[in-house]
C-alpha cells in the first residue's frame, strides 16, 4: 500500500471543521499538540464522541489516537449515511455541536441519513436544536437541498448537566450537487418567530421570557409569535432549565437567529471562573430581554445569515459546482474567518472578499470546488 | 478617492483572512506537508488583524470549537432612539403605519 501523506495540523481548534473538510475532500489529516500544555491534555469527550459519530456514518475511515490523546490520525472513508442509526452525544457539548458538521457531511452520503442523537438539546454554547430547525435547515434549502427529506424532530429535550434529550435528524443526499447562489439581498424583517422551552421547571419561566422579549420587540414589528414547549416527565431530561430561540424572517427569505438556554453548570467544566458565574441562574426576564437584544444586534449587523451561520454559508458556497456564488454577511465572525482559511487549505477555494461601505457589510464571492457526491456514484 | 479607499479595504480584508499573498502561494504549493508554513498561517494574521479580530480566538491553538458568536453590542435595546437606528430593517407595521408615521412609538 502506498504511503499516505497526511496533512499536518496542530491543536484542538476547529476540530469538527477539519474532520468535516478532511472527509469531504478525502484528505487524511494528522493533528498534533492537542491540548499538550493543558492540565487535562488530549481530546475531550465530545471530540471523541464526534469521531465515533464519523465512524458510524462513514465506512472505512480510520481513527488513531495516541495514548495521551494529544495526537490524532484520521483517514477519511466513504460517507455512507443510512437509516435507524443512533448516537449518544455525551454530556460535554450539546447536540448542536454534532449537528453542524453532520448535516453537511450527510448531504454527500451514499444513502439518505436518519439518525437519532441523544444528549443535551439546548445550551448556550452551541446553536440549539430549535435554531437548527428554524434557521439552519432553511439555509440549506437556498442551496437546492431537497426539503422533503430534510427534517429535525425533537423527541425530548434536556439541558446540562443531566442530559437525556433526543432528536431525530433526517438529511437527504444530493442528487446533482448544490446550486450556486447569488444571495445578497437581506430584505426587511417581516416576522419574528420563536420557541421557548422549559424542562423540569414551571411553564411560568417561559411566559416571563416571552413577555420580556416581546417588550423589546413589539414596538418594532407586529408579526411576532413565540411558541412554548413545556416538557415534563420523561420528555424533559434529567436537569432543570429553560431557554429561548428567536428567528427573524425577512422578505427575501433570510433567517436571522439568536438563542440561549439557562441551566446549571456542568460538573466537569474545567474553567472555574465560569462555574462561579453559573452558580445562580439568570432570571427568565433578563434572558428574554437579552435574547431580543441579541437578535436585534444580529439584524443591525446585516447580512443574509447571522454570525453563527457564517461558517456554514461559506462552506456551502465552496462546495457548490464550479459556478460563482455571491453572498453578503455582516461583520465576519472569528469562526467564519477560520472557516474561510480552512476552505482554502482543504478545498483550494479562495473567496473574493469585498466590504460594502454603504451598509457596513461584506460581500464574498467564490467559485465552488465542484465537489460531487462521490459516495453515491460508487454503488 | 472613495473608490481607492474601498479597494484598499478590500485588500485588507483579503489579507486579514488569508494572510499575505506570498505566504498563501507558498502555503498552497507545499502546505499539505510543510509544517512550518502551517505555523505561518496560524500566526501570520495576528499582526495584521489585531484591529478586527481582537478577540484573539484564532490565535489559540486549542481554542474552543464553537461557531456561535455573540455580537458585543453596547446598545440598550430598550432605548427608543437606539431602536430607531434599525427601524429601516423592518417591514413597516401595516395596521399602524399611518398612526406611527413621524411619531415615536410607545
pLDDT at B9 over 80: no
Chain A nearest CA to B26, separation (Å): 12
- The cell for A160 is 446540562
Q: Do A353 and B31 touch (CB under 8 A)?
A: no
The conformation of residue A278, written as its DSSP 8-state character, comes to T
Q: Return the pLDDT at A358.
A: 87
pLDDT digits (tens, 9 = 90+) for A317-328: 999 999 999 999
pLDDT band at A154, cuts 50/70/90?
very high
Residue count of chain A, please give it: 379
Number of separate domains in chain B = 1
Residues of chain B contacting residue A270, judged by C-beta atoms under 8 Å apart: none
**Cα separation, A338 vs B102, whole angstroms:** 44
Which pLDDT value is given to residue B60? Answer: 73
Closest chain B C-alpha to A351 CA, distance in angstroms? 8
User: What CATH number labels A189-269+277-301?
Assistant: 3.30.360.20
| Gyration radius (Cα) of chain B, Å | 22
Angle at A83 between CA A82 and CA A85, to 5 degrees: 95
* Distance separating alpha carbons of residues A283 and A135, to the nearest angstrom: 26
B100 within domain boundaries: no
Residue B103 lies in a domain: no
Output the pLDDT for position A37.
Answer: 86
Evaluate if residue A331 carries a pLDDT over 80: yes
Q: Is pLDDT larger for residue B9 or for residue A365? A: A365
Report yes or no on B91 lying in a domain: no
- Is B70 in Cβ contact with A35 (below 8 Å)? no
Q: How far is B82 from chain A (nearest CA, A)?
A: 10
Residue B58: pLDDT above 70? no
- Residue B15, by phi and psi: left (phi above 0), alpha (psi -120 to 50) or beta? alpha
The residue of chain A with its CA nearest to that of B35 is A8
Alpha carbons B104 and B106: distance in angstroms, whole number: 6
Name which residue leads in pLDDT, B73 or A42.
A42
Domains of chain A by residue range = 1-79, 189-269+277-301, 305-376
Q: How far is CA A52 from CA A49, A74, A126, A343, in A?
A: 5, 12, 20, 24
Confirm whether B82 is domain-assigned: no
ipTM of the complex, rounded to two decimals = 0.74
CA distance B43 to chain A (A): 12
- A123-133 tens-digit pLDDT: 989 999 999 99
Which residues is A365 bridged to in the sheet?
Answer: A326, A352
> Per-residue confidence at A23, pLDDT binned at 50, 70, 90?
very high
Structural domain includes residue B43: yes
Residue B33 lies in domain = 2-55
Instruction: Specify the pLDDT at position A297.
Output: 92
Q: What is the mean pLDDT of chain A?
A: 90
- Given a contact cutoff of 8 angstroms between Cβ atoms, the answer to whether A91 and A163 are in contact is yes
Query: Residue A93 above 80 pLDDT?
Result: yes
pLDDT at B94: 54
pLDDT over 90 at A280, yes or no = no
The residue-averaged pLDDT of A27-38 equals: 92
Q: Do B68 and A308 touch (CB under 8 A)?
A: yes
Cβ–Cβ below 8 Å for A334 and B18: no
Place of cell 431525530: A168
pLDDT of residue B3: 60
Q: What is the pLDDT of residue A75?
A: 95
pLDDT band of residue B15 (cuts 50, 70, 90) is confident
Q: Are the beta carbons of B77 and A293 separated by less than 8 Å? A: yes
Contact assignment for A300 to B57 by CB distance below 8 Å: no
Residue A260 main-chain phi, psi, to 5 deg: -160, 170
Cis peptide before A286 (omega within 30 of 0): no
Amino acid at each position: 500500500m502506498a504511503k499516505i501523506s497526511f496533512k499536518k495540523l496542530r491543536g484542538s481548534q476547529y476540530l469538527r471543521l477539519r474532520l468535516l473538510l478532511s472527509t469531504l475532500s478525502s484528505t487524511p489529516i494528522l493533528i498534533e499538540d492537542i491540548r499538550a500544555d493543558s492540565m487535562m491534555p488530549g481530546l475531550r469527550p465530545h471530540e471523541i464522541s464526534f469521531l465515533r459519530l464519523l465512524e458510524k456514518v462513514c465506512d472505512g475511515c480510520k481513527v488513531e489516537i495516541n495514548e495521551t490523546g494529544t495526537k490524532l490520525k484520521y483517514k477519511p472513508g466513504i460517507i455512507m449515511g443510512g437509516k435507524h442509526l443512533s448516537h449518544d452525544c455525551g454530556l460535554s457539548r450539546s447536540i448542536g455541536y454534532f449537528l453542524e458538521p453532520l448535516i453537511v457531511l450527510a448531504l454527500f452520503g451514499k444513502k439518505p441519513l436518519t439518525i437519532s442523537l441523544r444528549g443535551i438539546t439546548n445550551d448556550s454554547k452551541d446553536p440549539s436544536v430549535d435554531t437548527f430547525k428554524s434557521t439552519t435547515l432553511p439555509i440549506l434549502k437556498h442551496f437546492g437541498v431537497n426539503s422533503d427529506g430534510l427534517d429535525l424532530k425533537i423527541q425530548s429535550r434536556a439541558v446540562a448537566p443531566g442530559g437525556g434529550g433526543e432528536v431525530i435528524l433526517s438529511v437527504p443526499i444530493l442528487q446533482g450537487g448544490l446550486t450556486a447562489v447569488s444571495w445578497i439581498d437581506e430584505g426587511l424583517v417581516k416576522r419574528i418567530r420563536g420557541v421557548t422551552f422549559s424542562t423540569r421547571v414551571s411553564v411560568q419561566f417561559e411566559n416571563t421570557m416571552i413577555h420580556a422579549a416581546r417588550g423589546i420587540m413589539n414596538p418594532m414589528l407586529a408579526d411576532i409569535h413565540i411558541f412554548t414547549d413545556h416538557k415534563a416527565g420523561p420528555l424533559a431530561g434529567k436537569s432543570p432549565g429553560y431557554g429561548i430561540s428567536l428567528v427573524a424572517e425577512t422578505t427575501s427569505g433570510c433567517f436571522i437567529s439568536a438563542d440561549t438556554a439557562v441551566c446549571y453548570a456542568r460538573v466537569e467544566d474545567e474553567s472555574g471562573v465560569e462555574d462561579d458565574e453559573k452558580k445562580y441562574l439568570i432570571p427568565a426576564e433578563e434572558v428574554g430581554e437579552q435574547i431580543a437584544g441579541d437578535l436585534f444586534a444580529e439584524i443591525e449587523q446585516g447580512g443574509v445569515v447571522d454570525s453563527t451561520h457564517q461558517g456554514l454559508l461559506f462552506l456551502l458556497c465552496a462546495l457548490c459546482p464550479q459556478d460563482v456564488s455571491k453572498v453578503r454577511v455582516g461583520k465576519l465572525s472569528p469562526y467564519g474567518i477560520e472557516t474561510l482559511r480552512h476552505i482554502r487549505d482543504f478545498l483550494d477555494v479562495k473567496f473574493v472578499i469585498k466590504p460594502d461601505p454603504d451598509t457596513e457589510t461584506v460581500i464574498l464571492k467564490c467559485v465552488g470546488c465542484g465537489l460531487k457526491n462521490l459516495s453515491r456514484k460508487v454503488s | 478617492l472613495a473608490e481607492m479607499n474601498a479597494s484598499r479595504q478590500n485588500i485588507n480584508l483579503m489579507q486579514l483572512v488569508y494572510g499575505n499573498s506570498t505566504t498563501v502561494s507558498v502555503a498552497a504549493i507545499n502546505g499539505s506537508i510543510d509544517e512550518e508554513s502551517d505555523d505561518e498561517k496560524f500566526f501570520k494574521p495576528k499582526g495584521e488583524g489585531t484591529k478586527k479580530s481582537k478577540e484573539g480566538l484564532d490565535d489559540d491553538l486549542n481554542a474552543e470549537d464553537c461557531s456561535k458568536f455573540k455580537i458585543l453590542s453596547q446598545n440598550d435595546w430598550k432605548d427608543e432612539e437606539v431602536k430607531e437606528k434599525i427601524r429601516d430593517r423592518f417591514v413597516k407595521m401595516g395596521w399602524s403605519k399611518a398612526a406611527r408615521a413621524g411619531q415615536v412609538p410607545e
